[in-house]
Amino acid sequence: MSNKKLEKLKETLNDIENSKEKIKTTTKVNGAGFGFKISTEIIAALIVGVGIGLIVDNYLGTNLLV
């Protein structure tokens, strides 16, 4: 291979490596964001669970203990 082709290949490889590094840095999640995501998912699961429970209770004709 000629030197021009090798230089072009090196530049292409460097560009690919640089783009991979940019992708890695943008996908990092900080602690506050991660905590917010987890708390949101827990609250959503609780709401869905209560909703399903109320629907099943209504279907079976059961009442709360109140």
Q: Is residue 34 part of a domain?
A: yes
Amino acid at 17: E
Q: Is residue 65 part of a domain?
A: no
Q: Is residue 66 part of a domain?
A: no
Q: Is residue 14 part of a domain?
A: yes
- The pLDDT score that the predictor gives to residue 12 is 86
Residue 6: pLDDT band (50, 70, 90) is confident
Q: Is residue 16 part of a domain?
A: yes
Query: Where do we find the tokens 């109140």?
Result: 66
Q: Which of 65, 31, 2, 26 is nearest to 10 (CA)?
A: 2
- Give the count of domains, the chain: 1
| Structural domain range at position 20 | 3-60
Residue 4: pLDDT band (50, 70, 90) is confident
Instruction: Give the model confidence (pLDDT) of 10-56 as tens digits.
Output: 888 888 887 776 665 555 667 888 889 899 999 999 999 999 999 99
